[in-house]
Chain A
Amino acid sequence: MAHTEWKDAPGLPDFSLLKRLARDQLIFLLEQLPGKKDLFIDADLMSPLDRIANVTILKQHEVDKLYKVELKPIFVLMFTDLVNADKVAGRFRRYKIIFTPQKFYACETVLEEQGVYGDVTTDEWNFYILPLDDDILSLELPEFFRDNFLEGDQRWVTTAGSALRLLQSVYGSFSKVYGIGRCAKMVYESWRELMEDGEQRTRQPEFAKVFLVDRDVDFVTPLCSQVVYEGLVDDLFRIKCGSVEFGPDVTSSDKSIKVMLNSQDKVFSEIRNEHFSNVFGFLSQKAKNLQTAYDKRRGMDIQQMKAFVADELKGLKQEHRLLSLHIGASESMMKKKTKQDFQELLKTEHSLLEGFEIRECITYIEEHINRQVSMIDSLRLLCLLSITENGLLSKDYRSLKAQYLQSYGIEHLLTFANLRQLGLLEEQQAGETLTVMESKVGKLVNDKTVGKLTDAFSSLAKKSNFRALSKRLALVPKSGEEYDLRVPRDMAYVFSGAYIPLSCKLIEQVLERDGWTGMEEVTRMLNGQEFAVTEARSKTDAQRIVLVMFLGGCTFSEISALRFLGKERGCRFIVVTTAITNSSRLLEALLDNSA
């Protein structure tokens, strides 16, 4: 297989330290209220909490009963009801609300307004980073995307900055920081400010380079269907906090099972980055090897059998179990995808990426909508069309929007408003149309002010020209050339050879040039906001580990692409993300069709 461990890979830092830090802090907070406690946990926190401090540890610190709470952001109402219910029942209890990763102004205001501010103590549990795997760190903040990019709410900027500060304090200073995007810049500045407040550390850094990138620098990649194994599992089964639930169709029994998916699963770690077409072959081969290993038993005597059972059998059984699971998952994926005419869908996506036969693509999308195939997928295709084509023709926009609303519900006009605001799905402007006021003012004021005024008036959306970018960065390999997926030659393999993820390509180029020199054209097309700062010198080995921080989410396809890039360049990438994302999560965050 192409992607097993390579010999001189730089060692990865030990991220379990972060887990221990978080756990210790939580325990400290719990011990502030000595005695038996009932713990109410926000539903979104359950999985991350489980990775940090399991039930045993909680029980050790006098946690009695555990409850799940599903009512964010009106949890405070529930809390108020609880306090009042206790009062009525004559029950006396002390209350503490632990906000994580930090407390916001709004929280206190609500407590105040509800008149329970005096009854409760509040604390912060600075649980910033959850290691999902050896090379993936997550802030578990899926709301980051919508809050920051749609609502323009910058509340999470300091959170991201704090996460960087935490990494720096535990693993040493960064020597170089690169970035692109408005939020990236703010996070960098926030981090710098936080660093100025704290002490200077002189320990040797474990990773020297950091790359910050906004999700909205590259919307195309998360909108594409994923075809690497881990990406497919995420698209079809939803991986949550590094684990996934496989239903009866995968386990071939009447039970579901929840499994951790990380490098500890030896079978998974070998197929996770592989293009799906290679997975079958690999699993078959492994099954064959497994059979051979089992068959060894037939020729054994008692002594040998004993040794076999003692040493090898457990490992083989483990492997057997994992193998069945992944074969079951692959089978299930095949069935689902064949049912959905996946092949035709991919063909349309590839055409859009290439800019080829766009009319046919539009017809395909129209039929997809008319047949009510899938609300999210239809939307996804519309957005992909819009971004790659720099907006839809007015007549197409209106017609497709109308048909979408007819197929999936008129309330989606709210969703369309959101998508337009983000620049994900919009009409082509016939030249830049300025308002009357802008044009009048423009004649009387200098250019700089006009530019800033236009920015101030316009939405958060950016205009970027995907086709020009794609050409300039060679993101779409020439069609007609054979692409051997068994021996991938570049990152495009994560999309079957059709497209190199823009975000990863940018990272590759910047690292190669040690900055943005020579990329002025590209950064202009991405609306600027790029930066490269040298903070300090660092020892050579640290140069080989690069931290990439995605603000707004990162997909498994991008992670696989970066792992591939790392091997090519002789370095390792650590991916830090505000959350793992994919096309479904991205679009679901922008839906406004329910109360």
Chain B
Amino acid sequence: MTRAKPEDDEYWNSSKFKAFTFDDEDDEFSQLKESKRAVNSILVDEDEDDVERVSWSGEPVGSISWSVKETASSIRSGSEQSFPKIDTTPSLSKQGSGYSLSSLFKEKFRSLQDKLLLLDEAVAVYDGNVITAVSQILFRELMARDVALRHYVHYLKEMGEQKLLVELLKALGRTEDMALMHYKEHLNIKDEGRRRDFLKSCLSLPFSQDDATHVQDHYTLLERQIIIEASDKKADAEIFKKFPRKASILNMPIITTLYYSCFYHYGESEGTFSSPSNIRKTFRISEKQYILTALGARAKLKSWFDVDSLFNTKNWLGYTKKKSPIGFHRVVDILHKNSAPVQVLQEYVNLIDDPDLKLSGALKYKCHDVVINTYRDLKDRQQLIVYREKLERDSPEYRKIQELLNNVQIRWKN
């Protein structure tokens, strides 16, 4: 029999409810941890025969999913005829199909096209009567067809009838949809060389202006990635040996490619496809995007010097000062996630403009000096005393607080 632990009793008696935030790690989270410990300390020695029987995979025994797994494993052991292999190419063979549904629709749409043509001509000559007459009928037809059309388009999509779908969209004058539909096909091409060539063929399609630029970028990106991949796969340089690549760069997004480049090819000249500066320029990456990405990569490598250079700018008098397009609290966050040492964190916490953010950052990342200085500037004696208790008795920070508290010249506000 276990006894309730004395500290548990103390906890139960003293717990108080406070407004909840997800950042209150100290209070709510530890309260929960306490509950958990309390629960787990209760009678773990009883036998577990009443617990619901669960198989090794977590599925309740006797459920269908469990049964399916059992069947699957017995097949693998070779005792049963194995399940036939499936050819996963999505397009269906077209032999012998009457396309009854498709031909039916083709008929109807031919007449629709005729009517649209008629309407266009009438509009061109401002023939009001014709327009009225045609559009009344047209509206009815369109309404009916609108629904039917959608159904048919969906049917074609499901059946994987790509070519037919593209033709249909073209006939309906939905050129952008057609372009997108055609472009979508690239997802089915696994080989990167063929995919790149396919993307190139998409460049002439009637995309909207913006999308045309994006598709152009897509082609350029893949083309460059293929080149970079070919060269990096050989993994000659030192850095590849120290930090072996986890995956290929093919088909990764631009920002991921930039990160990769900042990681493995930092400082290379703009002339090479693999250099960060080249990628930045080619894909018109903003300063913010660039700095965030480069920061992540250099911080991962613990190149604090490189991180530093990212933020150094020279003002017009020639002095170096630190500037950032993203808030420094964000920078600190990223540095922390990459296990930057406290000295480095402290430096950037100091650069945070907003006093509240600065203080909370300092407290969160235990940048004692910044905390102490802030409280000193705020002339907040109480907080200094509270904070002192969190420090090691003989540490320089502890002593610093002592000195400040003993300083008679400071006019404390509390």
The 3 closest A-B pairs by CB, nearest first: A277-B20, A152-B150, A256-B58
What are 24 pairs between A and B in contact, CB < 8 Å? A41-B64, A50-B64, A50-B65, A65-B71, A68-B65, A68-B68, A110-B92, A112-B97, A151-B157, A155-B151, A283-B32, A283-B35, A287-B35, A291-B4, A317-B51, A338-B23, A343-B21, A370-B288, A370-B292, A370-B293, A372-B255, A411-B187, A485-B20, A595-B187
Residues of A54-104 contacting chain B, CB below 8 A: 54-56, 58, 65-68, 71, 73-74, 77-78, 81-82, 85, 89
Rounded to whole angstroms, the CA-CA distance of A81 and B88 in the bound complex is 11
With contacts A113-B92, A330-B32, A370-B288 taken as known, whether A321 is within 8 angstroms of B51 at the C-beta atoms is: yes
Q: Is the CB of A371 within 8 A of B292?
A: yes
| A contact residues vs B (CB 8 Å cutoff) | 41, 46-47, 49-50, 54-56, 58, 65-68, 71, 73-74, 77-78, 81-82, 85, 89, 106, 109-110, 112-115, 147, 151-155, 245, 255-258, 276-277, 280-281, 283-284, 287-288, 290-291, 294-295, 297-298, 313-314, 317-318, 320-321, 323-324, 327-328, 330-331, 334, 337-338, 342-343, 346, 366-367, 370-372, 398, 401-403, 405-411, 413-414, 417, 437, 440-441, 444-445, 449, 452-453, 456, 485-486, 592-595
Question: Does B403 belong to the interface (CB within 8 Å)?
Answer: no
Q: Is the CB of B50 within 8 A of A317?
A: yes
Q: Which residues of A contact B154 (CB under 8 A)?
A: 147, 151-153
Partner of A294, one of B43, B92, B142: B43
Partner of A152, one of B62, B147, B255, B288: B147
Rounded to whole angstroms, the CA-CA distance of A307 and B36 in the bound complex is 28
Residues of B72-117 contacting chain A, CB below 8 A: 72, 80-81, 83-88, 90, 92-93, 96-97, 101
Expressed in whole angstroms, the minimum distance between the Cβ of A169 and any Cβ of chain B is 28
Expressed in whole angstroms, the minimum distance between the Cβ of A279 and any Cβ of chain B is 9
Expressed in whole angstroms, the minimum distance between the Cβ of A27 and any Cβ of chain B is 15
Q: Is the CB of B58 within 8 A of A284?
A: no
Q: Is the CB of A287 within 8 A of B38?
A: yes
Expressed in whole angstroms, the minimum distance between the Cβ of B227 and any Cβ of chain A is 18
Q: Is the interface of B mostly helix, strand, loop or mixed?
A: helix
Chain B interface extent, by class: 35 or more
With contacts A291-B4, A410-B217, A445-B132 taken as known, whether A257 is within 8 angstroms of B58 at the C-beta atoms is: yes
Q: Which residues of A contact B54 (CB under 8 A)?
A: 255, 257-258
Question: Does B243 belong to the interface (CB within 8 Å)?
Answer: no
Q: Is the CB of B39 within 8 A of A331?
A: no
Q: Is the CB of A402 within 8 A of B151?
A: no
Rounded to whole angstroms, the CA-CA distance of A284 and B271 in the bound complex is 63
Rounded to whole angstroms, the CA-CA distance of A251 and B276 in the bound complex is 44
Q: Which residues of B contact A109 (CB under 8 A)?
A: 101
Expressed in whole angstroms, the minimum distance between the Cβ of A576 and any Cβ of chain B is 24
Interface centre among B72, B123, B255 (most CB of A within 10 A): B255
B1-37 to A contact mask, C-beta < 8 Å, 1/0: 1001000100010010101111101001101111110
Partner of B1, one of A297, A313, A318, A331: A297
Question: Does B347 belong to the interface (CB within 8 Å)?
Answer: no
Question: Does B180 belong to the interface (CB within 8 Å)?
Answer: yes
Q: Is the CB of B210 within 8 A of A398?
A: yes
Question: Does B412 belong to the interface (CB within 8 Å)?
Answer: no
Q: Is the interface of A mostly helix, strand, loop or mixed?
A: helix
Interface centre among B186, B210, B217, B330 (most CB of A within 10 A): B210
Rounded to whole angstroms, the CA-CA distance of A98 and B285 in the bound complex is 54
Q: Is the CB of A406 within 8 A of B253?
A: yes
Q: Is the CB of A314 within 8 A of B253?
A: no
Question: Does B169 belong to the interface (CB within 8 Å)?
Answer: no
Question: Does B159 belong to the interface (CB within 8 Å)?
Answer: yes
Q: Is the CB of B131 within 8 A of A444?
A: yes
Rounded to whole angstroms, the CA-CA distance of A578 and B143 in the bound complex is 27
